[in-house]
Amino acid sequence: MSWKFFLYDWGGLNIALFQAINAGTPAALEPLVWLFSLVGSYWTAPLMLLSLWWWSKSATTSARGTAVRHRLIGFSVAFLLALLVATILNLWFDFPRPPAVLGDMVRVIGNKELHYSLPSGHATYAALVVGALWPLMGRRGRIGLVLYATWVGWSRIAAGMHFPADVLAGWALGWICTALVGWLLPLAAPVWQSARLTSAWVWFTVAASAGMTDQLTKFAIIRMFAYGKQVEITPFFNLVHVLNSGAAFSFLANAGGWQRYFFITLGLVVSAWLGRMLCQQRPRLEAMGYSLILGGALGNVADRMLRGQVVDFLDFHWRLAHWPAFNLADVSITLGAALLVMQILIQGKEVSAEKIERHNHL
């Protein structure tokens, strides 16, 4: 007997529990199944972030606002970590979903899916939401959070999407990521505070980490997937292995070949300029933006120098409309640019406030 028989199949109990819940759910509860599958989806993460941000701004006390902001930061980091780990586990184990195991015996509510059952992404996300909101809630709120996570897990079993073991694994993953981030962020806070203006080495470390993470993910894709292979992760997201001779999001990909040397030169020039900017005193948000752009630029330059083309593997789509495939270097560059825009907006508000205050004094 294998470890899977004891830890996942539970000696047959995993399938027995699934059949009892899936077949025993009345048809009248199908709207609830759909509802909790919706509110337990990763797609609601932007709404969660927006709600926490609004809560932090509208808090009646500064201490409450600070507490909510800390949960916002923790949820954001834990969400990205859990998404990465869940994707790796799905691909690594590749456990079949209930319809692939039990066939027509499964009642499926929604699109039938056959692969990547462990862990349940919905259960993982529900645990992340509970972990983020738990310290901010009273007794009744915490009871509501437990019920929310329970109903999300039930909905995935009732919909025929996951076995109970997948749901438990998702809850565990979300809790572990939340706890890990909660432990690491206080340790990173002193470094972040000390890097407010002068610690250029911190920002170069961020840039190097972004570039190395990008290269490691590309190496994993090259080793795991043949060129052109496409693996469906969700109904809207695929992992692919494609090569892009152009810039971010396939810009100039169909040029005649000259673009390789042009983008190598451009990337090195931009990287040198960004490095010079990071050696100067910069506000933290601006420095973080420059470092993320630097890391992403170096990641794609390394691809062009080593492979001649850039490896892309993230494919988001809606039905037959596909956004051009991209990679973590493109994500890093985009996030860095967004941080620079935020810094400009913040500086604009500060300047306006100073002008108003100066005018009032006059």
Per the residue annotation, which of 166, 214, 312, 315 is the catalytic one?
312
Which is the catalytic residue, given 166, 214, 303, 330? 330
Task: Say if residues 333 and 248 touch (Cβ distance below 8 Å).
Answer: yes
> Contact, 242 vs 230, CB < 8 A?
no
Measured N-to-C along each axis, helices 139-158 and 13-24 cross at an angle, to the nearest 10 degrees, of 90
Question: Would residue 202 be called left, alpha or beta, if left means φ above 0 and alpha means ψ between -120 and 50 degrees?
Answer: alpha
Instruction: Let me know: does 70 contact 53? Beta carbons within 8 Å.
Output: no
CA atoms within 13 A on the CB side of 235: 10
Catalytic residue flag (residue 9): no
Residues 6+ apart with CB under 8 A from 54: none
Q: In what order do the strands lie in the sheet with 237-244?
A: 230-234, 237-244, 310-318, 321-322
Q: How far apart are CA 7 and CA 5, in angstroms?
A: 6
Catalytic residue flag (residue 312): yes
Residues belonging to the active site: 312, 330
